[in-house]
Chains A and B, each alone.
Chain A
Amino acid sequence: MIADHVQKVLGALSAMVGAVISFAAAGGLNQIVGARELQILGLLSVVLGAATTASGVTNTAKVKVAEAMQDAINSTPPKQAGFARVPLLVTLLLTLLAGCALLGVQTPKTLNERVAAAYVSVTTVRQETLSLLQSGKITVTDAKNIESQADNARAGIDIASQLETTNPTQASDRLTVSLSVLQALETYLTQHGSK
């Protein structure tokens, strides 16, 4: 049971790293909070994370005991309310944002830097898809669909890279579209990785 929780946490973390890369590529980190604020959020999220995880494990144990008691008296077993999913995901995201700030992940500024971040992001999407496929969390059909979207995003990034010198505005637009696709894929993978 604890291994299941560890798996959920790690799965969500894995997908969220990719999400943060996409987010950083879009320049999102600078627009929201500074590194100092992220560090404070990091400390808060560590405390919240520990509390949420402990609470999740404890709640699961309580549900198991309740189920056993309900079975003994042959009544309807209680419904499991889940593993504090939304608070956990928020906590993990805050932790990850803070972690990236502490690790010194920089926000890409030039078009080439954004292109670089986008390439890393699409690679991360493919690696996460492979992991989820191998662990049976998504089907082959899901994986094919994700890869198809990732291929489209990659094509857009390639075009943006080629247009960088001749038409920077169009290049930036292409890149923004590709990053939007990648962020949507990361969200999808995060949801499946935390199940």
Chain B
Amino acid sequence: MGNALLVIEALTEALGNAQKLSSLLQQAHAEGRDVTDAELSVLRNADDAAKAALDQAIAAP
């Protein structure tokens, strides 16, 4: 059951990512503009954080 919880957590994160992207695009469309560099920077930082977490798990004994 522990594995199932981990998978549920991953599913939640994936759905959260989809929702974040949807909100970002909807807001840009509503304001009649393109996605800004600042918004892209936030997404880059999120990916950096995900990479750091994966690196840590890979390095763990």
Q: CB within 8 Å of B: which residues of A?
A: 3, 6-7, 10-11, 13-15, 17-18, 20-21, 100, 103-106, 108, 110, 112-113, 115-117, 119-120, 122-124, 126-137, 140, 143-144, 147, 150-151, 154, 158, 161, 193
Contact = CB atoms under 8 A, between A and B. Distances in A.
Contact of B50 (A127, A132, A133): A127
B43 A123 contact: yes
Interface of B: 1-4, 6-11, 13-15, 17-22, 24-26, 28-29, 34-36, 39-40, 43-44, 46-47, 50-51, 53-55, 57-58
A135 B44 CA distance: 26
Given A3-B4, A116-B39, A147-B51, A123 B28 contact: no
Contacts of A104: 22, 26
Nearest to B51: A126
Contacts of A119: 40, 43-44, 46-47
B40 A136 contact: no
B18 A106 contact: no
Contact of B14 (A14, A132, A137): A14
B18 to A, nearest CB: 6
A123 B50 CA distance: 6
B6 to A, nearest CB: 5
Identify the 7 closest CB pairs spanning chains A and B, nearest first. Answer: A131-B10, A17-B14, A119-B43, A14-B11, A126-B50, A135-B3, A112-B35
A144 B60 CA distance: 13
A3 B1 contact: yes
Given A131-B9, A193-B7, A100 B18 contact: yes
